[in-house]
Structure 1
Amino acid sequence: MQDILSLIPQAPPFVMVDRLLQADETTARTSFRIVEENVFVENGFFKEPGLLENIAQTAAAGAGFKAQQENKPVATGFIGAIKNFEVFDLPVINDEIVTEVVIKNQVFNVTIIEGKIWLNENIIASCEMKLFIGGRNN
């Protein structure tokens, strides 16, 4: 698929997704390889704030893909609330995680998503997130 940076408002070194694997009206899936230089890597582990940002950026990539399909600019947004965040394992350097977000509800500029992160066949983190979509990137 196309360059991930064209789909999300974030820029290096704060990019926590590598590739958009799938996007449709309600679901987005991304992959991300953990590298030693990542700002959220500590003692070889990709830490919890990185997992949360990965989920949020997966949602952003899906929304960005949809916006591009509609010839609209990619919107910026921010995390408004996190609910039921569970971490079962932390990925390490060179691991590739796959993240899926599903839109549960969307009203005006507020989107509620459910996010899950897999490492191989195991879910390593999940949460519900409230995202507020704000201005546009130019």
Structure 2
Amino acid sequence: MSNRLEQAILDKEFIKRLIPQKDPFVMVDRLLYFDTDTLTSGLEITTDNILTDGDNFSEAGLLEHMAQSTALYRGYQGYQNEGANTTPKIGFIGAIKHATIYMLPKIGTTLITTAKIIAEVMHVTLIDIVVKDTNGTIIASSQMKTVVTNA
């Protein structure tokens, strides 16, 4: 497929309207690519992020970033279908498989995360996720099953 974005979305306030999470628990801050089954999101890790541990982004932060990338996919899909008045769908992680954390990124690192939909059945989505830094180094990967509860 091809990118459905005219340009990357870097407006953090707009991104926050697309996901159900609220500050200080927002773990995505940009939408770089979107098509029918793939999204690329990003996050600049800052010192005020509550999921940092010392100088590093934590394992929990990486997993939450992956899950919120999935929420961003749903949120932008809803925005495309319903317009600006769309309400983000609430969901949860049903399962995490094959989660591998290769390294903990330092504060100041920008994560670039690609989430690819593998299968969707009713309100359950199976998604492969790979997190890299801006140099292309793989930081983490997983397969998540997410469930939307207010679809």
TM-score (norm 1): 0.94
* Aligned residue pairs, count: 136
Q: CA RMSD in A?
A: 1.1
Q: Is 2:100 aligned against 1:86?
A: yes
CA drift at 1:52? 0.6
Q: What does residue range 58-73 of structure 1 map to in structure 2 within 5 Å?
A: 58-71=69-82, 72-73=86-87
TM-score (norm 2): 0.86
User: 1:97 is aligned with what amino acid?
Assistant: L
SS of corresponding position for 2:150: strand
Contact 1:40 1:46 in 2 (8 A): yes
After the TM superposition, list the runs of 4 or more consecutive aligned residues in structure 1 that deviate by more than 6 angstroms: none
Contact 1:44 1:92 in 2 (8 A): yes
Name which structure has the greater RCO, CA cutoff 8 Å, separation 6+.
1
Which blocks of at least 5 consecutive residues in structure 2 are unaligned?
Answer: 1-8
Contact 2:32 2:39 in 1 (8 A): yes
1:104 aligns with 118
2:55 aligns with 44
CA drift at 1:135? 1.6
Contact 1:111 1:131 in 2 (8 A): yes
CA drift at 1:63? 1.1
Contact 2:132 2:139 in 1 (8 A): yes
Q: 1:23 aligns with which of 15, 20, 34?
A: 34
User: 1:130 is aligned with what amino acid?
Assistant: K
User: 2:122 is aligned with what amino acid?
Assistant: F
- Identify the structure with the greater strand proportion: 1
User: 2:148 is aligned with what amino acid?
Assistant: I
**Identical positions, percent:** 38
- Separation of aligned partners in 2, 1:29 and 1:56: 13
What's the CA shift string for 1:41-69, capped at 9, x where partnerless? 01111011110111111111111111111
Which blocks of at least 5 consecutive residues in structure 1 are unaligned?
Answer: none
1:121 aligns with 136
